[in-house]
Structure 1
């Protein structure tokens, strides 16, 4: 099984069962729960969230996800009423559903704002209680960063596609500001008695130029989900080695690998030239994916994903990383 699939830490039978999920939202939730973390633990403050306290609990979650896959309408309605446009909010919506109705840890409160003197100091994403009655504070982040550096192993070289976010800055804010919120004196007055063990729940994808493997900072989990990025000028030659069935991935499809049904036209597949024409109309980086036809001929499965960026983006990204 691929490391970027929703299979980390599962027995092979359960991993295979998750691969059979067909509903996109349920697959995204499975990915959120079981995919590798982007980061290693950062003691003492940066503990990693552990969604399950045992293999049995994880297997029970697989059973529940399969049941959700068979009857996903309630989950779809939960997502629809939230009117989501941001990837992070979509992930929060999925995790909240799981904590309310799934067989594992239970939701105590979500998006708990901490204020002092009329000013908002911050917001705790999730307060949860495990089956063994541990009380946890989870900070959820779902990120897609492109490696913009060369051969130095620096977290600052991982930048958001729109150059408004950087991995080192995000980690520093998690450790210094977000995770300590539930330990502040003001938090005790909110009616959620602790103590709370703060943990970071950081998932996502890291993308490397033309699929290369530069040295990685030790803070990054080597099993992380990975993709590639390339420039528009390099795109046709790079894409030819990946396949000839392509699709643009909208932002809310950036979690799990995608499956699409129908013939080539119904599934929204483009050949390299047609997708190149479409990319020329975009002003910034665009995530795309290569697909292969399922052996049974009943659909398409994603085989590769990455960003196609404007030709001047690499220089801008490197300057942003080194700023």
Structure 2
């Protein structure tokens, strides 16, 4: 059920790139007939090999399983570090080959939960969506993305 929930989620960032839109549409509509029950042994093995109890690595493990057993996508690399002259510049979460479009897709996966906290200012009431700490707010993150 966790994997099905993950695939059905909508992106909060709308990037107008055709391949990303195609990927999301395919995942959301289960075009490749993903069935979590069929994948249960593979999911259990991938999750058992995870060294973390945090939400992010758990979700990355679920996505890895989806990609590895998808009929449409081929997982080329996971957590691929980019090093230049011994310095790590960053990391690709997933590099994926889309077998339908013959494109290579770079995927960054992020998931976070926010708590809605009502805030009154004069005659108006707003809701702040607070993350793990007070300065981690969804409204601030969204302003940075736009």
Alignment CA distance shift 1:123-1:48 (3 Å): farther
CA RMSD of aligned residues (A): 3.1
Q: Given the alignment, which residue of 127, 135, 138 partners 2:107? A: 138
Query: What does residue 45 of structure 2 align with?
Result: 77
CA–CA distance in 2 between the matches of 1:169 and 1:49? 25
Alignment CA distance shift 1:42-1:163 (3 Å): same
Greater fraction of residues in strand: 2
CA–CA distance in 2 between the matches of 1:36 and 1:29? 14
Alignment CA distance shift 1:90-1:54 (3 Å): closer
Q: CA deviation at 1:52?
A: 4.7
If the length of structure 1 is used for normalisation, what is the TM-score?
Answer: 0.37
Query: What does residue 41 of structure 1 align with?
Result: 14
After superposition, give the CA deviation of every residue in 1:78-130 in whole Å (9 maximum; x if it has no partner): 21121221100000011111111222321111111122333222111111111
Alignment CA distance shift 1:120-1:49 (3 Å): farther
Rg comparison, structure with higher value: 1
DSSP 3-state at the match of 1:143:
coil
Query: What does residue 28 of structure 1 align with?
Result: 2
**1:123 counterpart = 2:91:** yes
> Do the aligned residues in 2 keep the contact of 1:108 with 1:126 (CA within 8 Å)?
yes
Number of residue pairs the alignment of both structures matches: 137
CA–CA distance in 1 between the matches of 2:38 and 2:42? 12
> Do the aligned residues in 2 keep the contact of 1:52 with 1:104 (CA within 8 Å)?
no
Query: What does residue 158 of structure 1 align with?
Result: 129
After TM superposition, what 4+ stretches of structure 1 lie above 6 angstroms from structure 2? Answer: none
Give unpaired runs (5+ residues) of structure 1: 1-26, 176-218, 220-323
**1:60 counterpart = 2:37:** no
Give unpaired runs (5+ residues) of structure 2: 120-124
If the length of structure 2 is used for normalisation, what is the TM-score?
Answer: 0.74
DSSP 3-state at the match of 1:140:
coil
CA–CA distance in 2 between the matches of 1:42 and 1:59? 21
After superposition, give the CA deviation of every residue in 1:245-280 in whole Å (9 maximum; x if it has no partner): xxxxxxxxxxxxxxxxxxxxxxxxxxxxxxxxxxxx
CA–CA distance in 2 between the matches of 1:89 and 1:136? 20
CA–CA distance in 2 between the matches of 1:51 and 1:109? 19
CA–CA distance in 2 between the matches of 1:86 and 1:104? 29
CA–CA distance in 2 between the matches of 1:108 and 1:171? 33
